[in-house]
Structure 1
Amino acid sequence: MRVLKALIPVIALAGVFFADYASAQSFPSKPVKIIVPFTAGGLADALARGIAQELGREWPQPVVVENKPGANTIIAAEATAKAPADGYTLLMANDPTLSSNQYLYSKLPYDPVKDFIPVINVAETLQLLVAGPAFSGKTLADVIAVAKAKPGEVSYGTYGAGSKAHIDTEAFARQAGIKLLHVPYKGVADVVPALLGSQIQIAIAGVPPVLPLVQSGQLRAIAIASPKRSAVLPNVPTFTEAGLKDFNASAWFGLVAPAGTPRAIVEKIAADVSKIIVRPEFQKKYISGVGLELLNQGPGQFAEFLQKDRAAYAVHIKNINVKLD
């Protein structure tokens, strides 16, 4: 009898395992939805649609993309968190969704740690310090020297208080020992014209939105916030090479599912997406070809990545002392 009682938990676990395995084998048996927390046409949307299209070819069911923009990705995150935990609803999450929002808002309608399970971290966009015609300097040393000579006068643009650009630029200023003038805009689409029109002097932005303007000479690339140079901008030094050691910043895009989604289904989705995003033709069209960097981190690696990302945001947001509510 004691042996039988001892075996009950083992039998129960085995039952769960085989049930999950069976569900994964038949997955998907109906259409799958990827929720994107941004409007159509942006980087995250294009990436999600590329993955959806290729998965639809691999799977017996279609994969559709639903845009739910607004509230710094909160609307989309809440909708995903409340969806059934069956693998049929995924979220193309990024930094605010799972890392920074919890420090920017006193209360969220979802728990960024407990309400989601990481599936696959797809790609990241490296952050680039660029200067417009209003700033005559050409190097990182020039930016720092001018800012030290004129504290609070060198202006930088972002897409709002608490945004990725705001957090990264203030982290840079803090590390460099300088004070800059923050000029917030509604979005990246407003920051670039402000740079070109000399309304602001510098900005930290993701590589893709500014790449064509850097390549055409309309904006000057000062330094890239990564451990190594970008393949699409090989002549632009890293911050470390330019004199500011170990300043790194990037924005990531990854798929997550509601917490409780069977592990076998999570593993299947991750494996199938991984096969797609490593294909050269996919990378050329949706990743390296537009200035993104491939991550391809499965559930375990993605979970470890998120722990470090959240810890870094906790420090940076505390330092700039900003709240969005």
Structure 2
Amino acid sequence: MQRRQFIQAGAAMTLAASGFVRAQGPWPQKPVRLVVPFPPGGGTDATSRLIAEKLATLERWTVVIDNKPGAGGNIGLDMVAKAAPDGYTIGMGQAANLAINPGLYPKMPFDPLKDFTPIAGVAAQPVVLVVRQDSPLRTLADFIQAARARSGETGIAQPGNGTVAHLAGEMLARRAGVRLMQVPYKGAGPAMNDLLGGQVAACFGNTVSVMPQLAAGKIRALAVTSAQRLSALPAVPTVAEQGFAGFEVTTWLGLVAPAGLPAEVTAKLAAATLQVMSRPDVQQRLRQEGSIATPTPPAAFAAHIRAEHARWGALIREAQIRLS
């Protein structure tokens, strides 16, 4: 009798809970927090705000940007990994925190392959080597010659250890046979501020973060790390065409949620995000910023993360790249 009563009580509680869930209505019933693991002013932040803006317009969702910079994006993504898998906390993952950092940091606060639910790939952004407009350096060859003349003293700002910009600088130094003084910041915005202030000689930043200053005439671009020149910067040669064949470094961005996100919520988030990224106006805006829209559904995005995790890990081990 007691066992039957216990089972009946459990069944009643289950029914009550399911009724409570139904009473809450379909997701979302409250604002969604989008954790951006870098500060305002950088490429990751700009793309995240564009998506939040379009989701608000098209879906009538309230998406609140929450910038949590630090440790090459690890701090913000760790908050996402440890959040409840209810769809109300998602994050903007990228090559740095999902593929590069695991090879650089001796201990990660999360497992990029197990602790997240991939939602959708959204964009790709090359890196641009820039100097101040008044700098005597006018080409990549000038920069390398200056770095060779002052071995280990040429400071190059980058938005954080483990970012694609950091790895681009390391790869360039090794290919050119020079030593650079990598100066990490908590994002592209602070790195750009110190470049403009004269604290560093150059900066490796993604396209979105450098385009406003290029347009304002405050900085000069020496090279882009994409395989081909960018339509937004047609006069800027690639690193590859300036003597380093095969050089290609591009970051990528995509939305993730905590592991265990319900399939129906994942599908709803993915469908809305892919719709946003497929819009001509969004793609045009990204092109103007030097980015490329890459709308990628959950399964394909998950496969991309796994492939990039393996690729960057192998490169970091082979090149023996270490955090400074």
Q: TM-score normalised to the size of structure 1?
A: 0.78
Runs of 4 or more off by more than 6 Å in structure 1?
Answer: none
1:280 deviates by 2.5
What CA distance in whole angstroms lies between the structure 1 residues aligned with 2:259 and 2:247? 33
Output one character per residue of 1:246-298: Cα deviation in whole Å (capped at 9) or x when no partner: 2122232211122233445423322221111222233345x233332211122
For residue 296 of structure 2, what is the amino acid of its counterpart? Q
Structure-to-structure mapping, 1:8-27, within 5 angstroms = 27=26
**Which of 80-89 and 268-277 deviates more?**
80-89
**Which of 110-119 and 32-41 deviates more?**
32-41
1:74 pairs with 2:74: yes
For residue 244 of structure 2, what is the amino acid of its counterpart? L
Structure-to-structure mapping, 1:139-178, within 5 angstroms = 139-178=139-178
1:226 deviates by 0.4
Contact 2:46 2:208 in 1 (8 A): no
Output one character per residue of 1:22-54: Cα deviation in whole Å (capped at 9) or x when no partner: x9xx85252344333344565434433433343
Output one character per residue of 1:78-126: Cα deviation in whole Å (capped at 9) or x when no partner: 3322334344432122233312232333333321110112111111221
1:214 deviates by 2.6
What CA distance in whole angstroms lies between the structure 2 residues aligned with 1:209 and 1:87? 29
The sequence identity of aligned pairs, in percent, is 35
What CA distance in whole angstroms lies between the structure 2 residues aligned with 1:159 and 1:40? 12
What CA distance in whole angstroms lies between the structure 2 residues aligned with 1:64 and 1:174? 42
1:179 deviates by 1.9
* Alpha-carbon RMSD: 3.0
Gaps of 5+ in 1: 1-22
For residue 210 of structure 1, what is the amino acid of its counterpart? V
Output one character per residue of 1:183-231: Cα deviation in whole Å (capped at 9) or x when no partner: 4445433433443444432221112222233344432211110011111
What CA distance in whole angstroms lies between the structure 1 residues aligned with 2:220 and 2:168? 19
Q: Which residue does 2:275 correspond to in 1?
A: 275
Contact 1:38 1:67 in 2 (8 A): no
Contact 1:117 1:261 in 2 (8 A): yes
Contact 2:113 2:306 in 1 (8 A): no
Q: Which residue does 2:221 correspond to in 1?
A: 221
Q: TM-score normalised to the size of structure 2?
A: 0.78
**Which of 184-193 and 245-254 deviates more?**
184-193
Q: Which residue does 1:290 correspond to in 2?
A: 289
* Secondary structure at 1:54 match in 2: helix
Change (3 A) 1:238 1:117: same
What CA distance in whole angstroms lies between the structure 1 residues aligned with 2:199 and 2:52? 39
Change (3 A) 1:233 1:312: same
* Secondary structure at 2:80 match in 1: helix
What CA distance in whole angstroms lies between the structure 1 residues aligned with 2:91 and 2:162? 22
What CA distance in whole angstroms lies between the structure 1 residues aligned with 2:53 and 2:167? 34
For residue 257 of structure 2, what is the amino acid of its counterpart? A
**Which of 41-50 and 73-82 deviates more?**
41-50
Q: Which residue does 1:188 correspond to in 2?
A: 188
For residue 305 of structure 1, what is the amino acid of its counterpart? H
Output one character per residue of 1:165-191: Cα deviation in whole Å (capped at 9) or x when no partner: 332201111122222233444543343
1:244 deviates by 0.9
What CA distance in whole angstroms lies between the structure 2 residues aligned with 1:139 and 1:40? 29
Change (3 A) 1:237 1:185: same
What CA distance in whole angstroms lies between the structure 1 residues aligned with 2:295 and 2:77? 22
* Secondary structure at 2:143 match in 1: helix
Contact 1:40 1:67 in 2 (8 A): no
Structure-to-structure mapping, 1:1-325, within 5 angstroms = 27-31=26-30, 32-40=32-40, 42-59=42-59, 62-72=61-71, 73-132=73-132, 135-185=135-185, 187-285=187-285, 287-318=286-317, 319=319, 321-323=321-323
